[in-house]
Structure 1
Amino acid sequence: MSDPVRRHPYPDTSRPGEAPAPHPLLAPLIGFLGTWTGRGRGEYPTLAEKFAYAQEVTFSHDGRPFLRYEARAWLIDADGTPLRPSARESGWWRMQPDGRVEALITQPTGIAEISVGRAADGALDLTTHQVALAPTAKEVDATRRRYTLTDENTLIFVHDLAAVGRPLQHHLSARLRREGSG
């Protein structure tokens, strides 16, 4: 007789009830686990105007010393109604024994970033180590991403960008709430 509840043979935090214990190296990033949603504002000198966006970010793990990272964004109007998809990226945050983080982040627009930083006290600051571009991708020279937990259910995201001949400067900021936190 088979078990009526089918369990996946490979547990992951993306499957409720099957999550393995986090790897001890993930301790500085445990507070990031889960799905975060919210709104933000963006700007850049090469854009005609400032814009509002909605964002969803998910961090998960499978028991090994890295987090899976996935982010999606949509341009929204003044009422918060989605106008169109805006950005998407995915990748991995690899934890090192001394709290350093090596992040690999890819975008469907042909940009692949390797960033490095440090996680401590509910915050992570990542700066570009290297950027690889597909032949038709927009020129991106550097980024800086800051993620800060202000409490257990609020995540602040700030993204600086150096692209298309411009120096590193503010591009995006958002306030995200942990999904299911009300």
Structure 2
Amino acid sequence: MAGAAPHDLHPSLLPLAFLLGTWRGEGVGGYQGMDSFRYGQEITFASDGRPALGYVSHTWWADDPRDGREPGSPLATETGFWRVQPPSTDPGPDGKADRSPVVEVMLAHPFGIAEIYVGTVTGTRVELDSNVLIRTTTAREVSRSVRLYGLVEGGDLAYAIDMEAGGKPLQSHLSARLQRART
């Protein structure tokens, strides 16, 4: 955990305290049948004392002008909540209980998709797999998503998102390295 947890952080969220704050940086994206691209991003994890972190992500085009997009034009927004459940005491297939806290993430996207992820937090690494993914009738067909977040050398936040969509297999979609914003 980087630094002390704020006084208003709910005790259940201590395993996620390293995420608190605003992070900014750049990432790369792409998918089968799509040209790769660069994007800018800002993510904020915030606590209000309740047992869930608020989460907001905004991305913008950071590549050369293409397909009517100019640098700085908005791309995607995600909003939601992250919460932590105590580790399971039930033995797994190997007879041992997994002592990693369980992370539950609920996200909503303005293009008609809502996602619920379940995963684990180990130190400063969070691994998430989609548990439920729903969409409106006009949203693109996304059937699964896997996310990995973690602190890397220098204290930056790095993440990777793999996606299964449009009948294509699970594959790399987005990745970024973000620096903690100075407040």
Same fold per superposition (TM over 0.5): yes
Q: Which residue of 2 aligns with 1:63?
A: 49
Separation (CA, whole Å) in 1 of partners of 2:50 and 2:154: 23
Separation (CA, whole Å) in 2 of partners of 1:29 and 1:83: 30
Q: Which residue of 1 aligns with 2:126?
A: 124
Shift of 1:64: 1.7
Q: 2:18 aligns with which of 17, 31, 41?
A: 31
User: Residue 157 and residue 28 in structure 1: after superposition, are their counterparts in 2 closer, same or farther (change >3 A)?
Assistant: same
Q: What secondary structure, in the 3-state scheme, does the structure 1 residue paired with 2:139 have?
A: coil
Q: Which residue of 1 aligns with 2:71?
A: 82
TM-score normalized by the length of structure 1: 0.83
Q: Which residue of 2 aligns with 1:97?
A: 86
Shift of 1:35: 0.3
Q: Which residue of 2 aligns with 1:50?
A: 36
Separation (CA, whole Å) in 1 of partners of 2:154 and 2:45: 14
Q: Is the 8 A contact 1:53 1:75 kept in 2?
A: yes
Separation (CA, whole Å) in 1 of partners of 2:72 and 2:180: 23
Shift of 1:84: 1.5
Separation (CA, whole Å) in 2 of partners of 1:152 and 1:66: 27
Identical pairs, percent: 42
User: Residue 152 and residue 27 in structure 1: after superposition, are their counterparts in 2 closer, same or farther (change >3 A)?
Assistant: farther
Q: Which residue of 2 aligns with 1:16?
A: none
Q: Which residue of 2 aligns with 1:22?
A: 9
Q: Which residue of 2 aligns with 1:73?
A: 59
Runs of 4+ in 1 over 2 A off after TM superposition: none
User: Residue 156 and residue 171 in structure 1: after superposition, are their counterparts in 2 closer, same or farther (change >3 A)?
Assistant: same
In structure 2, list runs of 5 or more residues that go unmatched. 1-5, 88-100
Q: 1:137 aligns with which of 126, 139, 157?
A: 139
Q: Is the 8 A contact 1:31 1:152 kept in 2?
A: no
In structure 1, list runs of 5 or more residues that go unmatched. 1-18
**RMSD, aligned α-carbons:** 1.8
